[in-house]
Amino acid sequence: MKNKTLIFCILIILTAVSLNYYFATFLPEIFKYFRIASLALAVAIGISLSFRKGPGFIVPIQLLTLAMLLSILVSYLTWGQSIPLGFLITIPFLLWPIFFILLKIEVPIDMIEKVIIIFGLIYIVCYFYQFANPYNVMFNLGMVDDEYRESRGIIRIIFPGAGVIWLLTCMTVTKLTDSASKYKFFWFILLILGIIIPFMQATRTYIVPTILIYCYHFAKNISLSKKIAISIVLVIGGVFLSDFEIPVIEGILEQQEKQTEDGTKDIRYIAGTYFLTEFSPTPINKILGNGMGHERSEYGQFIDNLGQKGLFIPDIGIFGIYSYFGIIPVIAWALIGYKVYKYKIPEKYIYIKYYFFYIYFCAITGSTFYHIHYLISTIFSLYIFQTILYNKKKTLLDKIRKLDPQKIRLLKKLIESKISKQTTQPI
């Protein structure tokens, strides 16, 4: 790369617009137009670079891009939503082609990590500022109008852009135990914040994967007896904590009890059943999805009316991406999950696998497969994974090419001789 500073600045801007500036309410209108224009340009460039073959995650990314483009057409044909409105509502979620831009310019992994750290720190600072000033809504997901109020025993602020803090938390766990990593105290502070923030947000789907990742990472290299001892301590600690009158924990437990008692009356269950069985008007929609609805279209207004009744597509997990974009993204995410599990990567990059544990765990009831809060961090993670795999193969090929032709012929003869001996041995 000729100009790393320029690439870094572009990454900063691209990440900021992808996260919608953490839904900051104080920015002027011009930032909205700049965001849409920047994302449209990035997507157009990415699509032009996506017509390629290759291993790793290239095919799943192509499938995700194709599914979202088709959904714009489907929403026009079956719901009557205009193509321009379909494009406008879909473009913030159609970020997958950015993956091909990163591949093209070969962004260094350490540069991606710096961007993650910067936006993770911004997330932390903005979250605590908003928590300290709940009556002045600075960052809003559309969940409140004028102020944040107490819920589940705490001022509950579900801060936008959770994917970045998840990825930073996973990176923190890995860096802290990496002998080659510096700034241990910095990573230790982030490790503490990585568990505090999910509890402050009082969200079970954030808390559980964080605890599981922490426990797995720090326990995976110790003896079985120590693992058993730690497990017993954690269980006892959990029992004692549940007995204490801690408002946050009481609020979480009460919510869990309420949903358990509701059973099939739970609104998520009702929403999931409706969007799977009644929402799609034609067989085409059951295959290619319905597309996203813009608020200025009748289709978008219909979805808003469903939301007023408590039926939200983002609340039904993987069924949500199916309702919006059909069966193709489900296949793509199955491929991604298989490849993430199958491919081995160096221990210092194991945080990528931890991050995808977050994504798949929270996709049970959330929108982590397609929402803008997680897209850019997911794209960064896939790019890092792809780069690691490609560089390993490229290094091996470079070594083979540098071998002397005579040595290659000798190596070939040795391999052929070994195979011949194995096939002639009696059974």
Kindly report the number of other CB atoms within 10 A of residue 218's CB atom. 14
Q: State how far the Cα of 191 lies from the Cα of 181, in Å rounded to an integer.
A: 14
Q: What angle do CA 168, 160, 238 make, to 5 degrees?
A: 65
pLDDT at 153: 60
333 CB contacts (<8 Å, ≥6 apart)? 60, 318, 321, 363, 369
pLDDT at 263: 44
pLDDT at 239: 58
pLDDT at 227: 67
Amino acid (1-letter code) at residue 336: I
Domain membership flag for residue 168: yes
CB 318 within 8 A of CB 333: yes
CB 116 within 8 A of CB 380: yes
Q: State how far the Cα of 384 lies from the Cα of 108, in Å rounded to an integer.
A: 9
Domain membership flag for residue 226: no
Q: State how far the Cα of 362 lies from the Cα of 203, in Å rounded to an integer.
A: 11
pLDDT at 142: 60
Q: What angle do CA 203, 204, 205 make, to 5 degrees?
A: 95
CB 289 within 8 A of CB 67: yes
Spans of the chain below 70 pLDDT: 1-2, 141-153, 226-227, 230, 233-265, 392-427
In angstroms, what CA-CA distances link 359 with 50, 167, 355, 382? 24, 10, 6, 12
Q: State how far the Cα of 191 lies from the Cα of 183, in Å rounded to an integer.
A: 13
Dihedral angle, C-alpha 111, 167, 345, 395, nearest 10 °? -10
pLDDT at 391: 73
**Model-level pTM greater than 0.95?**
no
CB 42 within 8 A of CB 101: yes
Query: Which residue has 């224009």 as its token pair?
Result: 37
Domain membership flag for residue 320: yes
Domain membership flag for residue 377: yes
Domain limits for position 50: 4-221+266-423
Amino acid (1-letter code) at residue 28: P
376-412 per-residue burial string, b: 16 or more CB within 10 A, e: under 16: bbbbbbbbbbbbbbeeeeeeeeeeeeeeeeeeeeeee
250's tokens: 């009481």
Domain membership flag for residue 149: yes
pLDDT at 222: 77
Number of domains making up the chain: 1
Domain membership flag for residue 203: yes
Domain membership flag for residue 241: no
Domain membership flag for residue 252: no
